[in-house]
Structure formats: C-alpha cells, structure tokens
Amino acid sequence: MVQSFYESVLENIDNTAKRMKLDAGAHRIIKQPERELTVSIPIETDSGEIKVFTGYRVQHSSVRGPCKGGIRYHPAANLDEVKALATLMSLKCAVTNVPYGGAKGAIKCDPTHLSKKEIQRLTRRYAAMILPIIGPRADIPAPDVNTNPETMGWIMDAVSMYKGATVLDIVTGKPLELGGSLGRNEATGRGVMLNTLEILRKHNMDPKNATIAIQGFGNVGSIAADLLMQKGCKIVAVSDYSTGLYCKDGLDIPDIIANISSKDGNRLLNTYPKKPNYDLITNKQLLELDVDVLIPAALENQIHKDNADNIHAKIIVEGANGPVTKNANEVLTEKDICVVPGILANSGGVIVSYFEWVQGIQSFFWDIDEVNANLEKIILKSFDEIWRLSKKERITMREAAFCLAIKRISRAIELRGIFP
Ligand code: NAD
C-alpha cells in the first residue's frame, strides 16, 4: 500500500527531530496543527438543486507569523491531505525565512463537473464559512491546484462585502487589477527554474545540454517548462491528467501552451494538434524516462515504493508538494538520485505572495524586475544554506531543509514560550 502523504510528512519530521535532538516539547507542538476547521458548503446548482460540499482550512503554525497557504479544489481532497500540506507550508516559510506560518485549505469537489457560476458560488460560500479564522494578520489564502487569480478575486470580494470595505491583503495570488503582484502567477514556476539551474550547476551539468521531463502542465509545470526552455534546456516530455507528449529533440513549449484549448477553463494536453515527431506517452512512462532532471509538478505521492526503482532521472526537482513518499525517498537516496525538496523547489509562490501582501499593506506596487530580483535573492540564499548544510552533515537536501526549517520554528517556540 502507498504510504499516506501525511504519514510521510510526519515521519520526515520524526527523523529530523531525532537527528537534531529536538526538544521533546517542541517536537510534539510541531507535529500537531494549531487549528483544523471542517465546513459544509451548500450551493444552489444551475438547475436549482441544492448540493452540499465539504471544505477544510487547517492552520498548522502561527509561531513565526500569520498562517499562509493555498486553497485547492479536488475530488480527492481530505482533512489528512490538508494537514500534510499545511505542515509543509510552515516548513517552507521557515526554510526560506519568510515571516509566515503554514496553512492550507481545500474543497472536496470536481471542478470539471461544475459551471463557472457554480464554482463562484462555492468559492464565496467557502470564504464565508472560513471567515472566522482567516484575516490579513491571521491567515492569508492563495491559489493551489484548480484555483487561480480569479478564484482569489472572488474570495477578496466576499470578505470585503462582509467587512464593508475593500480588504486587499486577505488573499494573495489576486488578479493584477485587484491588488495582485506582478510576477506572482509565474513565481512558483520561476522558483522551480532557478532551483533546477542551481542544482545542475552543482552537478557540473550544462543547462544547454540538460534533458528534462515535467509531470503536470498547470500553473507550476507549464511555466517551469517555458522558463527552462528559455534557458536552453531541452524539455523532452510533459504530461497532465489527460495524456503526455514526448520528443527526444525537445518539445516546443510556447507552441504547446498557445495551442492547447480550454474546456471549462481546463487547458489539457490531449487537445494539442497531432505532430509527426511527437509521441503520446503515459504518466508512468514520463516518470520513468532516462533524463537528467525529472520535475513532478502535479500532485503528491507520484513516486512511491512501487515505482521508485524504475526512476532513471539523475536529479528530481519537486515542483509539486509531496510528490515523493518517504519510502520512495529512501530508494532514491540509495540510487544516488539527488532530490531538491518541494519546501525549497516550489517556494517561489509563497515568496512572491509575501511580496504581494507587503505591497498590499503599503498600497505601493513594485515593478517586475524588483519582484524577480528579490525572488531570486531569497531562493538562491535558501538553496545555498541547504546545500552547504547537506554537504557539511553528509545528509540529503531534504534532510537539510527539514533541519533548517524545524530549527527556526523550534527557536520561535522557545522565544515565545507557552501561553498562558
Ligand atoms: P494546477 O491545477 O494549475 O495544475 C495541476 C496539473 O497537474 C494539471 O496539469 C493537471 O492536469 C495535472 N494533474 C493532475 N492530476 C494528475 C495526474 N494524476 N497525473 C498527471 N498530471 C496530473 O496546479 P498547480 O498550481 O500547478 O499545482 C501543482 C502542484 O504544485 C501541487 O502539488 C501544488 O500544491 C504545488 N504548488 C503550487 C503552487 C502555486 O503557486 N500554484 C505553489 C507551490 C506548490
């Protein structure tokens, strides 16, 4: 049986605690989310029927600052998954030294079976249901799987209607016209690109000769593919839940992005017109390709103990949250496959969310060069700290990242003390 995502996260925390001889009290605190909210969300469908969905918001830790984390819409969403994602958010903010704790939210729904109006009603009612615990100084949501700037605009509007005034800093990842930040939409993919170039450099591999396969062609995967191609890398394969495309000479990513069509807002690779030199491949085949870099950028638990032995990539850069289970990670380490952990590799989104929040509070907006330069500075500094710790302690980059993050969180717990 595939290890559950939350079990993997907790086991990684336990092992880190042991390695760093973490204080037992701090260990107990870090393993438990501060607050878990489950809500029921009734909406009227377009046909007039009442349907009730389940939603969640979990705040893992506010010890280093307000909680921060995305909201996903997915049929498989559940409380344990949201707890795992909220925990990873705390670690991500700590490892990049962004002054936030971690949170996550989800609605268990299949957005491909809902109209845009139904999704809007669902979003607004969900915002109302979690309103008692979110806020610009308490918990700031952002987009994740199947949510986007438009969704954030609806949440911002719903909260503003309750408050009687426009509340720009209640969510990040908003449309530019509603107080969003330049560069936020591309930030996670840009961070994945920066981490990939950096890890190639550490392995003395020239990006111009590097072959890359990317699973997931949504916000993170498609933007990382595009930016890495601009750096000269050869993107030989991409996939989403509909299909995968492979070309040994490299895919034309801008052409794919421009020519996949939108069905109910879902831009799927199986709508891309057939090309003679492109082969269709499955997600299983993509993950097992012999490439320099594999970037899983879809969902968690994609590389597990049953397929870890078949992974042939030299390097894995985790675009998604938790795409490699703890058991699979052990196999990859034995095979000497270097993994750049998600809490570093996909941190670009929360870093630019932080910039958006700062800009919203100040009502003073930066240009794109300033956003990208500050993003690069934070990513490269965090990468360097993790890389040096991993070399010094002879541990993996994931172990080093968890150590660094847990050290910062436990220090904040120590400094604040326990209330009352
Ligand atoms: P998205 O909804 O924009 O895209 C998800 C992609 O994954 C789609 O192309 C979808 O078709 C594909 N997919 C879904 N199930 C799949 C499957 N079983 N096999 C192959 N492909 C599948 O979501 P996103 O925002 O790009 O998020 C992707 C991952 O990155 C998630 O793990 C998310 O938590 C993580 N992440 C996102 C952000 C962000 O800013 N959006 C930030 C940090 C981490």
What's the pLDDT tens digit per position in 326-384? 999 999 999 999 999 999 999 999 999 999 999 998 999 999 999 999 999 999 999 99
Q: 356: Cβ below 6 Å to ligand 1?
A: no
Q: What is the mean pLDDT of the chain?
A: 96
> What percentage of the chain exceeds 70 in pLDDT?
99
pTM of the model as a whole: 0.96
Distances in Å between the alpha carbon of 127 and those of 161, 234, 327, 354?
Answer: 11, 42, 36, 20
Q: Is the CB of 219 under 6 A from ligand 1?
A: yes
* Amino acid symbol at 321: N
Percent of the chain with pLDDT over 90: 96
Q: Ligand 1 pocket, 365 CB below 6 A?
A: no
Instruction: Answer whether 311's CB lies under 8 Å from 287's CB.
Output: yes
The pLDDT of residue 261: 85
3-state class of 282 per DSSP? Answer: coil
For the stretch 202-228, pLDDT in tens is: 999 999 989 999 999 999 999 999 999
Predicted confidence (pLDDT) at residue 160 exceeds the cutoff of 90: yes
In this predicted structure, the answer to whether residue 72 has a pLDDT above a threshold of 90 is: yes
Q: Which helix (H) or strand (E) covers residue 73, if one does?
A: strand 67-74
State the closest ligand 1 atom to the C-alpha of 173, by its place in the atom list counted from 1. 40
pLDDT for residue 267 = 87
Q: What is the pLDDT of residue 263?
A: 60
What average pLDDT score do residues 219-240 get? 98
Pocket-testing residue among 58, 107, 240, ligand 1, by greatest number of atoms within 8 A of Cβ: 240
Is any atom of ligand 1 closer than 6 Å to the C-beta of 96? no
Question: For 158-173, what is the mean pLDDT?
Answer: 96
Question: Could you tell me the distance, in angstroms and rounded to a whole number, from the CA of residue 300 to the centre of ligand 1?
Answer: 9
Q: Answer whether 101 contacts ligand 1 (Cβ < 6 A).
A: no
What is the pLDDT averaged over residues 152-166? 97
**CA-closest residue to ligand 1 atom 35:** 320
Residue 174 pLDDT: 97
Q: Based on the number of CB atoms within 10 Å of its own CB, is 377 exposed (0-12), middle (13-18) or buried (19 or more)?
A: exposed
Atom of ligand 1 at shortest range from CA of 322: 32
Region 26-50: mean pLDDT is 98
Position 265 scores a pLDDT of 63
